[in-house]
Amino acid sequence: CGIPPGESFTYVLETGDQSGTFWIHGHTRHQEVDGLHTPLIIHSRKQPVIDYDEELIMTFEDWFTTEFAVRQAYIDSLEDIRTLTSNFPKALINGYDGNKTAPITFVPGKRYRLRVISMSVNNWFKFRIPGHKMTIIEADGVESMPLEVDGLILGPGQRYSAIVTAHDSAQFNYIYNVTSYSQTLFSQGLIPLMYTGLINYRDGAPVKTIPAPSDEHLVWPEETAMQVADKQAPLPVDRQIELTMKKFTHTHHQHQTTLGNTLYKPVLVPTLYTALSMGDLATNSSVYGPQTNAYVLKHLDVVDVVINNPELEDHTFHFHGHNVQVIETGPYGNLSTENREPVAHKVSGPWPMWRDTIQVHGFEYIRVRFRADNPGVWFLHCHLAWHEYNGVAVVFVEAPGVQQQRQSVPKEMVEMCKRQGIPTQGNGAGNQGFDLSGLPPAVYPSS
């Protein structure tokens, strides 16, 4: 349950041995779109993969001129979604209008850890510093083996740490480049947007001109190219779940996309409360309501998840509660009608990278893997806010029996839910057994 207006709630996070680059954001009413987000950095007690002298945080975010609820009401009111007036967002860099961000200071000879965070909900960002190489040492809070690249590509929600070594001389300053782009309806010919900022070695120094090769001649990070620092081999599989995005026209030519069997929609009883209150029935996915796209996972099973994307548009997907091993990517769907290069089959090396937010490119599939060792109720959703709003998501109900034995919801949270009229017991409809009367009908692709 969300925190009601005028109230407060204290979250206590046990980080354990977790460290890295994260961001906090609200999920109620898509408030993360309207700016309810901030970086969260957890410093490790261990020696870093590569030593550095100083660290800098860089944040990228898209910024609309109207609130999400206003834009969505406008979209929902259209008789024909194809008449949508472009509303492509601008970009903020470190919280400022892209080209007005303060310079980044480099001291000659110093080694910097750049913690780069996409707090975006619609746009992808490319970031590079011409004349400087980057060495990736972390993705989404997981340390990686060093990987040298020319720049970073971040989908919505993704994060990297990259080591950049400053030049030995302060003779020149340099320009960094940020490109913001998207494939959604909001784009409509308004992309890409280009931003620049100053890498300041010395006040007043001339800016060195660096030839700009095309992106095709530069090295960018790929999901399968990275290797995890702790050299963990692929996990053996106990169960496979295959999720295929299905696009269909629902109403007023509005194209909807499902990830599971239906469009995800919140039900009357939060799924966590159903898992904790339904006893043995909590292991049956039906009690959560078809709108939740719930998958019940056995404790400690290794789950192999395949996400198929048969459409042109790219997506990023965020796994709550887990990092996942990126096992492979490859072609999926029919490319014959699109002017695109053939999709290659790419398999990770012997130590696949772990991360919590993955890119699924158009006409591709991705295979990821995790162990169900974190009992709870975990959301898997597209990180494009418009898609999440429309239900491109599923829920993993992990080890409900273990949850009932080990976990309880703080009394303050239960009372907070009750004050908002949100029930905290029963199946998805607040009833017993499989009686789901009171829920709105689920929306299936055949609708």
The pair of structure tokens assigned to 401 is 């029996």
Check residues 83 and 141 and name the one with the higher pLDDT: 141
Residue 78 is predicted with a pLDDT of: 72
CB-CB contact of 262 with 419 (8 Å): no
The CA distance from 262 to 22, in Å, is: 30
Residue 190 is predicted with a pLDDT of: 58
Tens-place pLDDT, residues 345-386: 999 999 999 999 999 999 999 999 999 999 999 999 999 988
Chain-wide mean pLDDT for the chain?
A: 92
Residue 255 is predicted with a pLDDT of: 66
Q: Of all helices (H) and strands (E), which one includes residue 414?
A: helix 411-419
CB-CB contact of 423 with 268 (8 Å): yes
Residue 386 is predicted with a pLDDT of: 82
- Strand 152-154 relative to strand 104-105, pairing: unpaired
Order of strands, sheet of 96-97, starting from the edge strand that comes earlier in the sequence: 96-97, 90-93, 54-63, 111-118, 159-165, 134-139, 142-149
The CA distance from 32 to 14, in Å, is: 23
User: Picking from 52-56, 85-89, 162-166, 317-321, which range would have the lowest pLDDT averaged per residue?
Assistant: 85-89
What is the pLDDT averaged over residues 149-155? 97
Tokens 């709105």 belong to residue? 440
The CA distance from 244 to 237, in Å, is: 20
3-state helix, strand, coil in the chain (%, to 5): 15, 35, 50
Residue 252 is predicted with a pLDDT of: 45
Q: Of all helices (H) and strands (E), which one includes residue 403?
A: helix 400-406
Tens-place pLDDT, residues 242-262: 999 987 766 545 667 889 788
The CA distance from 422 to 445, in Å, is: 29
Between the alpha carbon of residue 68 and those of residues 1, 87, 215, 306, the distances in Å are 20, 11, 32, 31
Asked if residue 185 has pLDDT above 60, the reply is: no
Tokens 């905290």 belong to residue? 424
Burial of 200 (0-12, 13-18, 19+ CB in 10 A): middle
Tens-place pLDDT, residues 97-147: 988 999 999 999 999 999 999 999 989 999 999 999 999 999 999 999 999
Tens-place pLDDT, residues 203-224: 999 999 999 899 999 999 999 9
